[in-house]
Amino acid sequence: MSPKTRGDVPAYLPFHVEVSRTVRLSPSFVRVTFAGDTLCDFADNGLDQRINVILPHDGADFGFCAEPDWYQAWRSLPPPAQPPLRTYTVREVRPRAGELDVDFVLHGDGGPASRWVGAAVPGDRLVVVGPNARCPEPTGAVEWAPPPGADRLLLAGDETAVPAISVIAAALTPAARGRILLEVPEPDDELPLAAPPGVEVAWLPRTGAQAHGDLLVPAVQEAVRALAAPAQEAAGRGPESLDDLEDVDEDELWEIPETPGGDGFYAWLAGEAGMVRRMRRHLVQDAGVDRSSVAFMGYWRLGRPPR
């Protein structure tokens, strides 16, 4: 999330924070609460608000964050000296209390963020780059944007999408209808999730026996038959051919419709890139869903440490 400005006001700021507490939510999730006086200026945008977390690295300080263009200053550091930078979702921010919650997924020692979270204790310091409440215009990095009148919603993702979907679900109107599908590593990873009565929530634990997406992809296919097929048939729209569908580079697997479709169905898909590609292909190519009704985000790729 490189720096942007709205006029003379930066849209994002580096917030120097320290760990206030950690809570193990389940076998795969840890909630870290960060505290800092400057968090009073952290914008509470809700939904799937993305932030950057800059982790400590071999005793290096965060002096580059004092630069107006902190991101360019970070990039200019020699690669061995660059503190790891990862993207996460805000779980909750309490600006008046100067607190920020971020839910992390544990993946053993496979990546610097997972290693850091596994050893984090109160007082540990790092930098969170987040939206500036003093910016007079929208700061961006929020992708949930169903069109007005969308009355059939599908949210689907793996464990890395659970924090974002949890916040989105709590913000849905009482009249919302649809399904939320969450594939997680273990049965005990089912977390409390507030959703309207008309939104069905299904947790799909792999329990080590299934490959990534083996549970979520067919669940999405079934949900599309229930939620989207009637609208596609009424519109007389059939599946798009492969030649008509612009392919998306898996390294850039991120597409948010600029003008979401208006047939009442809206899908938000996130998680491992290959799995997201399979879900998106089914919706658009097989089920005939208008691509302007599908937002999809590849958060990470198998073979690389998740974010």
- With a cut of 60, say whether residue 122 has pLDDT above it: yes
* 143 assigned to some structural domain: no
Using 50, 70 and 90 to split pLDDT, how confident is the model at 234?
Answer: very low
Q: Is 95 in the same domain as 169?
A: no
* 279 assigned to some structural domain: yes
DSSP 274-287: HHHHHHHHIIIIIS
pLDDT value of position 194: 95
Residue closest to 223 by CA, chosen among 204, 196, 246: 204
The stretch 56-65 carries a mean pLDDT of 83
Residue closest to 222 by CA, chosen among 270, 297, 154: 154
H or E segment to which residue 163 belongs: helix 162-171
Q: Is 165 in the same domain as 242?
A: yes
- CA 25, CA 67: separation in Å to the nearest integer? 36
Q: Is 208 in the same domain as 127?
A: no
Per-residue pLDDT reduced to its tens digit, 190-214 = 999 999 999 999 999 998 777 899 9
The stretch 220-229 carries a mean pLDDT of 91
- CA 282, CA 44: separation in Å to the nearest integer? 35
Q: Is 121 in the same domain as 193?
A: no
Per-residue pLDDT reduced to its tens digit, 5-49 = 556 789 999 999 999 999 999 999 999 999 999 999 999 999 999
- Looking up residue 165, the CATH number of its domain turns out to be 3.40.50.80
Token match 């929020």: residue?
A: 142
- Looking up residue 66, the CATH number of its domain turns out to be 2.40.30.10
- With a cut of 90, say whether residue 244 has pLDDT above it: no
- What residues make up the domain containing 72? 5-131
The total number of structural domains that make up the chain: 2
Looking at 131, 163, 181, which one is the last position of a domain? Answer: 131
Kindly report the pTM of this predicted structure: 0.90
